[in-house]
Amino acid sequence: MIFREVEDRDLVLRARKGQVDAYNALVSRWETRIYNYLYRFTANPEDAMDVSQDTFLKAYQNLARLDDAGRFGPWLYRIAHNEAISHLRRRKPEAELVDRAVGGSHGGRMAPVEVTIAVESALGRLSEEQREAVILKVYEGFKFDEIAEILECPASTIKSRVYTGLELLKEILAPVVRGAEGRT
């Protein structure tokens, strides 16, 4: 993580001076992570793609406003979060999102399918705040302080959302987890 920050800082400083290749390198480094975060949050590949594109465009346009060049990652996630929220509010009511997340099918790309569907369904049953906090913690590996910075709320609130979300997931996934454990 430290190496990534050091390199990000260098790339951000070079991109600010107008070096296009430096920003291209930043996009390459972060696009898959940002896309996955948005995909898990929105539960829709097209939304995730559109918001990813908007996120990188907005980040490029506002690169001069980034106070600490070494904190490009959390800053980028904050932009992605804001873009995702405004995109979802603009396009779809929340109920539809949750329904789709619960019942969503993604073309048999995952294995084992049973666990995958159960996890997607379980994530869809969390509140939007809990889901995003859990995704940033479990999938993206941020610390509570970093998630607090991204979502612009106290770390204690983040901790509460993650713990509550994780407890719900534990209960929802218990039968699947036990079944998978029993088979292995």
Checking phi first, is residue 111 left (phi over 0); if not, alpha (psi -120 to 50) or beta? Answer: beta
- Under the binding rule (CB under 8 A), the answer on residue 77 touching another protein is no
Q: Does 105 bind another protein (CB under 8 A)?
A: no
| Angle, alpha carbons 132-134-136 (nearest 5°) | 70
Can you tell me which of 4, 91, 110, 154 binds another protein, judged by CB under 8 A?
110
CB atoms within 10 A of CB 99: 13
Segment near another protein (CB under 8 A); pick from 74-82, 85-93, 95-103, 173-181? 173-181
Which of 81, 87, 131, 137: binder of another protein (CB under 8 A)? Answer: 137
Residues 58, 128, 143, 157: which binds another protein (CB under 8 A)? 143
Choose the binding region for another protein from 19-27, 77-85, 87-95, 97-105 (rule: CB under 8 A). 19-27
Show the tokens assigned to 174. Answer: 């218990």
Contacts of 53 (CB under 8 A, 6+ apart): none
Matching residue, tokens 């400083």: 13
Chain centroid offset of residue 167 CA? 20
Which listed residue (10, 92, 116, 121) binds another protein by CB under 8 A? Answer: 116
For helices 2-16 and 20-42, angle between their N-to-C axes, nearest 10 degrees: 120
Using CB under 8 A, list all residues that contact another protein.
Answer: 17-18, 20, 23-24, 27, 31-32, 35-36, 39-40, 45, 48-49, 52-53, 56-57, 60, 109-110, 112, 115-116, 118-120, 123, 134, 137-139, 143-144, 159, 162-163, 166-167, 169-170, 173-174, 176-177, 180-181
